[in-house]
Amino acid sequence: MFNEPATSSAGPVEDTSIELFSASASKIINFGSRCDDPEGDDITVTIYYDKTSIAATGNDLKDILSFSAGILTIDNAIKTHKNVFTYQLWYSCSDSFNPSTSVDAPFRIVIFNSIYSPMATGPQGYLDMFY
């Protein structure tokens, strides 16, 4: 019998916005179980930034983003890394028998400044500028 690749029953990954001047220490994105495998094969999940896994040595954001057990943690230091900026990331998962077939989803982390933004109504207005 053919071994089926991983599938996703979840919708798109939500974009996350962070106010530049907020006092939050960190932000957590719970990916939960976005990826399933019909046979129960082991699943590998990776988050990429600039085509490199955030866990890989040399990635620009490796010290302020961490991913473990389905939880992406964004350290508060991301706000000083680039000030107002959009980080385009990529979620990817595959099973151990079908590593070349993956479930992929792009998402963004937007650092915004509601005081100086042309869309000062808040993060959603600022996000609309990128669609």
User: Which structural domain range is residue 69 located in?
Assistant: 16-128
Q: Which two tokens stand for residue 49?
A: 């930034």
In a domain, 1, yes or no: no
Q: What is the CATH number of the domain that holds 94?
A: 2.60.40.10
In a domain, 25, yes or no: yes
Return the residue matching tokens 């599938």: 7
In a domain, 6, yes or no: no
In a domain, 10, yes or no: no
Residue type at 21?
Answer: F
In a domain, 48, yes or no: yes
pLDDT digits (tens, 9 = 90+) for 82-119: 667 888 999 888 888 888 888 888 999 888 877 765 54
Statement: the pTM of the whole predicted model exceeds 0.85: no
* Confidence band for 130, pLDDT divided at 50, 70 and 90: very low
In a domain, 8, yes or no: no
In a domain, 66, yes or no: yes
Measure the CA–CA gap between 95 and 8, rounded to whole angstroms.
12
The DSSP line for the chain is -PPPPPB--S-PPPPEEEETT---SEEEEE--S--B-TT---EEEEEEETTEETTSTT-TTTTTEEEETTEEEEETTHHHHSSSEEEEEEEEEEETT-TTS-EEEEEEEEEE-TTT-TTTT-HHHHHHTT-
Q: How many domains does the chain have?
A: 1
Q: Which two tokens stand for residue 131?
A: 């669609």
Q: Which two tokens stand for residue 87?
A: 């980080």
